[in-house]
Chain A
Amino acid sequence: MSVEAREKRQPWILLSPALGAVTLLLLVPLIFIVVYSFWLRSAVGPDIQGFHPDNWQRALTDPFYRYILLNTLKIAAITTFFCAILGYPAAYFITRSSGNKMLLLLLLMLPFWISYIIRTMSWINILGSSGALNTFLLSIGVISSPIQMLYNEATVILGLVHFLLPFMVLNIYVSLDGIDTNLEGAATSLGATRWQAFLQVTLPLSLPGLAAGGLLCFVLGAGTYITPLVLGGPRDAMFANLVFEAIITQLNWPMGSALSLLLLLVLGALVAVYNRFLGMSQLTKGLG
């Protein structure tokens, strides 16, 4: 074999395990789901095979589904907003701290060592009717009976922010860390106050990281089902809960498939828009 042919083959040989895994574990099941979404569940017996757009029609026109979808996007957006507001100062602080940067980053990663479900459930011990906060307020006499703080939209957002904040901080950190600190020095030496220098130089240069973190938080937030399950009330279901409901509770796999694909398409469209304006390279940079 010629050297050229061998060199040409080499990347494919190296990529083949990953490509094989992606094809087998992601692409093939996805095709199954696409096929499933056009089947129909029958009241008794096996699902009816064939090409039936009924599930899609329902998913796209049912006002309940639309309401949940919009609510999901709203909750994800609010979560992303709070992650950005809370994450930016933290990332800025870590970037500018001199000696203990590694320790701070380690502390940031620490929550990942504990299961996401346990972290979510920890809020029950804090906000529950016999949780830490209520017990404290009762003991100092501010309230006479426990307040119902759990199981509403606010606690869902709280849980999501708790879960997603490290992703936001890491993305902004990577972006900020790549900015030459002399740039702010140059800006202030030219007459800008520190705040003006931040707005004129540091903030615009860190926007890609903010956008990457935002996209990640939004997509992960919009796709979650554990947080609303654990911390939300009956009215706070998010779209992934509908998928869970359809597939696990109602055993309606075709409908569940259509719903999950709908969420995938909506979030995929968002990623595509992001990619169009900011480029995917920023996201991979933030993850790496």
Chain B
Amino acid sequence: MSSVQLKNIVKRFGAFTAVEKTSLTIPDGAFTTLLGPSGCGKTTTLRMIAGLLDPTEGEIVIGGKRVNDVPIHKRNLGLVFQNYALFPHKSVAENVAFGLRYRNVSRADIARRVQDALDLVQLPDVGARYPKALSGGQQQRIALARAIVIEPDVLLLDEPLSALDANLREDMRVELKRIQARIGVTTVFVTHDQSEALAMSDEIVVMSDGRVEQVGAPEDVYNTPASEFVARFLGASNILGGQCVSHGADGAVLEVPVFGQVAVPAAKSPHLTGPGPAKLVIRAEKLLLRAAAPIDGTLTAPAIVEAVDYQGQSVRYFVRAGDETFQAINMIDGRPFAQGAQVHLALRPQDCAALPG
């Protein structure tokens, strides 16, 4: 078990910079997710930690030891690929045993540890089969077993769930988290799927264009985005451009279209430094539609429903208020509002977050 530190890492491919000067500390034993859209540098970062790529600049430190010059086969890392990368010409047991054969493990111990790993991923009886004979989900479990049987210092997972179909993906999510918690290995998980990241991580690193946008616990990243990119990438958000008219220890007051003055608590505006241009972030699920104007001190504005996207347990509305279009995701209470309905928006100021403009 080891922490991972990236110190001013840069990766360039010719003229293209995949990862800009990035520093990051991944704590020992934590489940850390690198989250971002494709091309944001998250997989490049993972591959540099793994040793599959060499950083152009900067240092990689694993367990307090600089590993830049340590070749991949001496790093003792568990690596799981999106496409499983099982050896098709070897049986499942041979696949899982592969790493142990390079570790001076006796034949009897290899057999026992392979069986333990297969038990851990809940596929105890498939050792004699070949990868081709297994389903996608089973193959992914075997890939995981192969990576953890060597007791790696760090487990690196490169979009391991994205090749699975939706139901299986949610099962494997729980399963993966269970196994990680059980063995307590430092884990770096790469995904572009925000719900995976929110559900599984101790810490999320949001990346965009080769840069780290924000690092934090899932609820912090979700509720208090550090940038417009994070606000838009995680969940559905409405972002209103406006002015910060006053800023103090207890929070900031923003003047925005539609809602007028909004008092955002300090905890939700940590990145705001003083008066000036600012943005108000309103989560779609915090913006509620009401038939009548609320009277309990929440912010409100009249609006017209422009589109209704019914999703069963919830409904997503697109509403127009003034010159702005908002997205609102509401739980269903009775019948959803119809298209064209006159409604009132209701919003609690403490549910908003503020960003520098």
Is A102 an interface residue, CB under 8 A from the partner?
no
Proximity bits, B45-58, A CB within 8 Å = 1, else 0: 00000111000000
Residue pair A191, B87 in contact (C-beta under 8 Å): no
Is B335 an interface residue, CB under 8 A from the partner?
no
Is A186 an interface residue, CB under 8 A from the partner?
yes
Interface size on A, residues (CB 8 A): 19
Given B78, B79, B102, B103, which contacts A196 in the complex, CB threshold below 8 Å? Answer: B102
Residues on A with beta carbons closer than 8 Å to the beta carbon of B75: 189
Given A186, A190, A193, A205, which contacts B89 in the complex, CB threshold below 8 Å? Answer: A205
A interface SS class: helix
Is B150 an interface residue, CB under 8 A from the partner?
yes
A207's nearest neighbour on chain B, judged by CB, is: B89
Is A126 an interface residue, CB under 8 A from the partner?
no
A189's nearest neighbour on chain B, judged by CB, is: B79
**Known contacts A185-B52, A190-B98; is-contact A204 B89 (Cβ 8 Å):** yes
When A and B form their complex, what is the total count of cross-chain residue pairs whose Cβ atoms lie within 8 Å? 67
Residue pair B83, A189 in contact (C-beta under 8 Å): no
Residue pair A190, B88 in contact (C-beta under 8 Å): no
Proximity bits, B62-75, A CB within 8 Å = 1, else 0: 00000000011111
Residues on A with beta carbons closer than 8 Å to the beta carbon of B83: 180, 182
Residue pair B81, A201 in contact (C-beta under 8 Å): no
Minimum CB–CB distance from B262 to chain A (whole Å) comes to: 49
Is B146 an interface residue, CB under 8 A from the partner?
yes
Residue pair A205, B88 in contact (C-beta under 8 Å): yes
Given A182, A191, A200, which contacts B81 in the complex, CB threshold below 8 Å? Answer: A182
Residue pair B87, A189 in contact (C-beta under 8 Å): no
Given A180, A191, A193, A201, which contacts B99 in the complex, CB threshold below 8 Å? Answer: A191
Given B50, B86, B89, B101, which contacts A189 in the complex, CB threshold below 8 Å? Answer: B50
Apart from A189-B79, A192-B98, A204-B89, 7 more pairs, CB < 8 Å:
A189-B50, A189-B52, A190-B146, A191-B101, A196-B73, A196-B102, A200-B87
CB-CB nearest 8 A-B residue pairs: A190-B99, A191-B102, A182-B85, A189-B79, A186-B85, A188-B72, A182-B81, A188-B73
Residues of A in contact with B (beta carbons under 8 Å apart)? 180, 182-183, 185-194, 196-197, 200-201, 204-205
Residues of B in contact with A (beta carbons under 8 Å apart)? 50-52, 71-79, 81, 83, 85-89, 98-99, 101-103, 146-147, 150
20 A-B contact pairs sorted by A residue (CB < 8 Å) = A180-B83, A180-B85, A182-B81, A182-B83, A185-B85, A187-B98, A188-B71, A188-B73, A189-B72, A189-B75, A190-B150, A191-B99, A191-B102, A192-B102, A193-B71, A193-B73, A194-B73, A196-B102, A200-B98, A205-B88
